[in-house]
Structure 1
């Protein structure tokens, strides 16, 4: 696909203010990694809006390059399939995030509100606006169809308690990208001793999400 992929590269912002320059193929790989992590994680992960923006720019370049391919060229249909595949991954990634926001909206907003100053945002500006509007509309709907008919002492609802939290103890499949030593699988309890494992690079495991959530966040493991 090198003749359709743009020669330009994606630039991903880093915490230190520098730019991580990647080839188009590396950029698409970053999107696919974010997509799989979001798809299989029980909680909403940190937004990757910088990747999304770069991929959308890359798709524009690819569409432009595709227009230069001669009509009837067999490569054109293959290139079109690649563009459609990338669009599917991008749409699925964004749709997965919106579904989680709708499902866990009070907890998502509380997590965003309580993050420390300087920590990365879990929501893009557009997602944050959507979550706030969804929260307000849900409250308005509940008051209109149910709460106003209840006794005065029952005409309020705690959304944090009413909406279930993400179930972080669910099990997920993962592939190890960077070796990890002494990963705590089960803490010490009255019934058992502390249980730790070493995760070899390239190995695959089925583990409790809560155990490896920090490793997903820092990119040491990939959900599959």
Structure 2
């Protein structure tokens, strides 16, 4: 699901390509059951692009139809950007101990799934939740039930759920794993533009 690391921060992208990357990250994040690798470089570049677009808009004469078109495009990009960031924050709030555990267990060479700001937010959210639960437990629970395992108390992301996939480039000899014991695995070719419903865990491993 996550974008390949083949694209570095040094890639020179046109504004249209940059927005397309943001929209791709947004859709992937929105439909993924778990938190994906952060795209902070894309977010920062889009925010810079929005500043330039706002500056250019100021130079357009009032009443010019271009001003309305540019304003609509700026608002659309802001919506996609805020929706992307909001989707990530909602997942962090919902699965915060598992998100932090995954971040802690990743190899040093692996890309971080959290931006520095998201990591600070997740840690603060965990600390506040633990403080609240301890206060409630001390007030209302017997001593033997006052310890709470946050990892067990908070549900994990539903990785057995299904997601829709769209093939970006033709792929040959893709192994399709069986969904039930009665089915058999098989190999197929996936054509560009094809759409399919796939188990999320097999999406990550295939």
TM-score where L is the length of structure 2: 0.90
Inter-CA distance 93–164: structure 2 relative to 1 (3 Å threshold): same
- 8 A Cα contact 1:147 1:154, kept in partner: no
Residues 1:41 and 2:32 are matched in the alignment: yes
Residues 1:151 and 2:142 are matched in the alignment: yes
- Following superposition, the deviation at residue 149 of structure 1 comes to 2.7
- 8 A Cα contact 1:147 1:156, kept in partner: no
Once residues 61 and 214 of structure 1 are traced to their aligned partners in structure 2, the CA distance between those partners, rounded to angstroms, is: 40
User: SS of the residue aligned with 1:207?
Assistant: strand
- 8 A Cα contact 2:9 2:41, kept in partner: no
Once residues 86 and 32 of structure 1 are traced to their aligned partners in structure 2, the CA distance between those partners, rounded to angstroms, is: 9
2:89 — aligned with what? 98
- Following superposition, the deviation at residue 159 of structure 1 comes to 1.0
Inter-CA distance 34–16: structure 2 relative to 1 (3 Å threshold): closer
CA RMSD of aligned residues (A): 2.1
- 8 A Cα contact 2:160 2:200, kept in partner: yes
Question: Which residues in structure 2 correspond to 1:190-205 (within 5 Å)?
Answer: 191-205=182-196
Inter-CA distance 85–16: structure 2 relative to 1 (3 Å threshold): closer
TM-score where L is the length of structure 1: 0.83
Once residues 174 and 151 of structure 1 are traced to their aligned partners in structure 2, the CA distance between those partners, rounded to angstroms, is: 49
User: SS of the residue aligned with 2:12?
Assistant: strand
Aligned counterpart for 1:68 among listed residues 56, 59, 63: 59
Aligned counterpart for 2:131 among listed residues 120, 140, 153: 140
Q: Once structures 1 and 2 are overlaid, which stretch shifts more, 30-39 or 195-204?
A: 195-204
Q: Once structures 1 and 2 are overlaid, which stretch shifts more, 144-153 or 183-192?
A: 183-192
Aligned counterpart for 2:168 among listed residues 163, 171, 177: 177
- 8 A Cα contact 2:137 2:145, kept in partner: no
Once residues 95 and 166 of structure 2 are traced to their aligned partners in structure 1, the CA distance between those partners, rounded to angstroms, is: 27
- 8 A Cα contact 2:37 2:113, kept in partner: yes
Q: Which runs of 5+ in 1 are unaligned?
A: 1-13, 216-224
Q: How many residues align?
A: 202
More strand by share: 1
Residues 1:22 and 2:10 are matched in the alignment: no
1:116 — aligned with what? 107
User: SS of the residue aligned with 1:169?
Assistant: coil
- Following superposition, the deviation at residue 150 of structure 1 comes to 1.7
Once residues 158 and 59 of structure 1 are traced to their aligned partners in structure 2, the CA distance between those partners, rounded to angstroms, is: 43
- Following superposition, the deviation at residue 207 of structure 1 comes to 1.2
- 8 A Cα contact 2:166 2:193, kept in partner: yes
